[in-house]
Amino acid sequence: MTPQGPVAADVLVENGVIRSVGTSLKAPGAKIIDAKGLTLIPGAIDPQVHFREPGMEWKEDLASGSRAAAAGGVTGFLEMPNTSPPTVTAELMEAKKKIAASKCLVNYNFFIGATPDNVEELLAVKNVCGIKIFMGASTGSLLVDKLADLERIFSQGRRLIAVHAEDEALIRENKTRYAGVTNVADHALIRSPEVALRATRIAVELSRKYRRRLHILHMTTQEEAEFLAKEKAGLPVSAEVCPQHFLLTAPECYDTLGTYAQMNPPLREKRHGEALWHALKTGVIDCIATDHAPHTREEKDKGFPHAPSGMPGVETSLPLMLNRVNQGLCSLAEVVRWMCENPARLYGLKNKGRIEAGYDADLVLVDMAREKTIENGKLQTKVNWSPYNGWTTKGWPVMTMVNGNVVYREGEFFTEILGREMTIDAIWENGGAFP
Ligand code: DOR
């Protein structure tokens, strides 16, 4: 699958880089991978995961999370700062990158977390994919909810800003209103569509005011999709959606999954999922992320409102989307655009996301005819459960190559050669041009 569409061709890889794409390429002595009957796509890049290291390694770590990624056809990830301690200084960022270099099977980069008073640190870090702002509190302590603080970060923060767009004041108001509720479905009332829309509006206005590159993480509402469809043109704003927000629907998901369906922002009714899918198809939403946010079963079993929010997803997102291709709901070219090309383009990930000469050989072979059932207990994520437990889907990755090295094939991992830090195009260090 090239940027121009599907072709029947050979791909020559040398020193981890795609040298050429063409028919009957000759390369004496080269190792041949016979891909007959399979489809080669660029490795997916998951632009929002929580791999929990340092500090919460009982849920996940950079080794287990990146193995899960490799098994799911994800060759690169952008990881969130709500670890323990949170990644909010240049020093902590360097420490996290050092851990990643020692154990990540796929390629990586990291967000630095914004606090009300760390602008100097946001400016000091080098080669990071963006600044993460939790406008509403979620897992961990990160929160920037005062307008004056947001203004300062948007005006001075320089690089791309990615927002968890939920309005903290309204969440708190709703928590008082719904005090004492024990039904997990009420989670979506507390974190209502208005909670999401209010924060998204504020972030877009700040982006407009300061001409700051803005990415809206995990959008969840019809209202935000409609707002963005009107406002986005001409602004340096992009947006993402997670598969669970159009595949899992309230209230049924809360009946069947209980707190395992609880996440922030929440799973919602069908009309939202349909609007999000439409926004993705029409380019209002640019890319797909998973918000892979593992919590153990013991933690999830604490019941509402004590269970933490979040669900795993990094190893099931590509199969779920390939299944949608097989269902005739979208094309493979669209999936590649949403999961490979666009995350690379939006974050300025150098030489990533395309099968084209000069790009890195991060490649995935998929078998579009393969059927498999997603099963709790058979996953790579440490928590070993999935909200899609029992789903049989068609279209699966069978081989994952990172920088020219096969790291996963048919259930087997090859861990001798690790992934690398992805380079952010230099222009992005200074705010970037909107691609
Ligand atoms: O549900 C969520 N869980 N949403 C977030 O924004 C954070 C995540 C986590 O880290 O657990």
Q: pLDDT of 349-402, one tens digit each?
A: 999 999 999 999 999 999 999 999 999 999 999 999 999 999 999 999 999 999
- Is the pLDDT at 430 greater than 70, yes or no? no
Q: 291 catalytic, yes or no?
A: yes
3-class secondary structure, 209 = helix
Whether 416 has a pLDDT exceeding 90, the answer reads yes
Give CA–CA dist 395/121, Å, rounded: 43
36-46 residue pLDDT tens? 999 999 999 99
Q: Is the CB of 313 under 6 A from ligand 1?
A: no
Average pLDDT, rounded, for the chain:
96
How does residue 415 score in pLDDT terms, banded at 50, 70 and 90? very high
State the DSSP string of 312-379. --TTTHHHHHHHHHHTTSS-HHHHHIIIIIHHHHHTTBTT-S--STTSB--EEEEEEEEEEE--TTS-
Specify if 129 maps to a domain.
Answer: yes
Mean pLDDT of the region 9-30: 96
Residue 421 located in a structural domain: yes
Structural contact between residues 7 and 25, judged by C-beta atoms closer than 8 angstroms? no
Q: Is residue 1 part of a domain?
A: no
217 CA: nearest ligand 1 atom: 6
- Which residue, by CA, sits nearest to atom 3 of ligand 1? 310
Q: What is the mean pLDDT of residues 171-180?
A: 95
Please choose from 46, 263, 299, 381 the residue to mutate so as to test ligand 1's pocket, defined by most ligand atoms within 8 A of CB: 263
| Mean pLDDT of the region 200-213 | 96
The pLDDT score that the predictor gives to residue 48 is: 98
Strand partners, 346: none
pLDDT, mean of residues 311-317? 98
Is 435 domain-assigned? no
**Nearest Cα to Cα of residue 265 among 156, 166, 123:** 166
Query: Does some domain include residue 62?
Result: yes
User: Percent of the chain at pLDDT above 90?
Assistant: 96
Can you give the pLDDT at residue 373?
98
Q: Is residue 222 part of a domain?
A: yes
Please name the residues in contact with 208: beta carbons below 8 A apart, sequence gap of 6 or more: 235
- Residue 435 has what pLDDT? 56
Q: What is the pLDDT of residues 128-171, one digit of tens each?
A: 999 999 999 999 999 999 999 999 999 998 899 999 999 999 99
To the nearest 10 degrees (0 to 180), the angle between helices 270-281 and 222-231 is 30
- List pLDDT tens digits, range 68-92: 999 999 999 999 999 999 999 999 9
CA of 356 to the centre of ligand 1 (A): 35
Q: Pick the atom of ligand 1 nearest to 295's CA.
A: 11
Q: Looking at the DSSP assignment, which residues form a beta bridge with residue 238?
A: 215
Report yes or no: 400 and 362 within 8 Å, Cβ to Cβ.
no
DSSP-assigned letters across all residues of 212-250: --EEE-S---HHHHHHHHHH-TTSSEEEEE-THHHHS-T
Average pLDDT rounded to a whole number, residues 188-197:
97
List the beta bridge partners of residue 46.
Answer: 77
Q: What is the pLDDT of residues 212-241, one digit of tens each?
A: 999 999 999 999 999 999 999 999 999 999
- Scan for tokens 């005062």, then name that residue: 146
Q: Does residue 136's CB lie within 6 angstroms of at least one atom of ligand 1? A: no
Averaged over 269-290, what is the pLDDT? 98
40 Cβ contact partners less than 8 Å away, ≥ 6 residues apart: 1, 11, 355, 363, 364, 365, 366
β 392-402/363-373 pair status: antiparallel
C-alpha span between 315 and 353 (Å, rounded): 18
Of the candidates 264, 269, 258, which has an alpha carbon nearest to the alpha carbon of residue 182?
258
Q: Is the pLDDT of residue 429 over 80?
A: no
At 41, give phi and psi (nearest 5°).
Answer: -125, 160
pLDDT at 432 over 80: no
Q: How far apart are CA 160 and CA 163, in angstroms?
A: 10
From 105, 103, 125, 104, select the one nearest 114 (Cα to Cα). Answer: 125
In a domain, 216, yes or no: yes
What is the number of structural domains in the chain?
Answer: 1
For ligand 1, atom 2, the nearest C-alpha belongs to 310
Q: Please answer whether residues 374 and 388 qualify as being in contact, where contact means their C-beta atoms are separated by less than 8 angstroms.
A: yes
**Domain span including residue 252:** 10-429
Using one digit for the tens of pLDDT, what is the confidence trace for 240-279?
Answer: 999 999 999 999 999 999 999 999 999 999 999 999 999 9
CATH number of the CATH domain containing 343: 3.20.20.140
Least confident of 19-28, 75-84, 194-203: 19-28
| Residue 288 confidence (pLDDT) | 99
Other C-beta atoms lying within 10 Å of the C-beta of residue 186: 17
CA-to-CA dists, residue 356 to 4, 11, 44, 146, 304, angstroms: 10, 9, 15, 45, 48
Cβ–ligand 1 distance for 263 under 6 Å, the answer yes
48 CB less than 6 Å from ligand 1? no
* Centre of ligand 1 from the C-alpha of residue 166, in Å: 12
- Report the SS3 class of residue 91: helix
The model's pLDDT over 102-126, given as tens digits with 9 standing for 90+, comes to 999 999 999 999 999 999 999 999 9
pLDDT given at position 309? 98
Range from 183-187, 231-235, 427-431 carrying the lowest mean pLDDT: 427-431
CA 81 – ligand 1 centroid, Å: 11
Of the pLDDT bands very low, low, confident and very high (cuts 50, 70, 90), residue 329 is very high
In a domain, 219, yes or no: yes
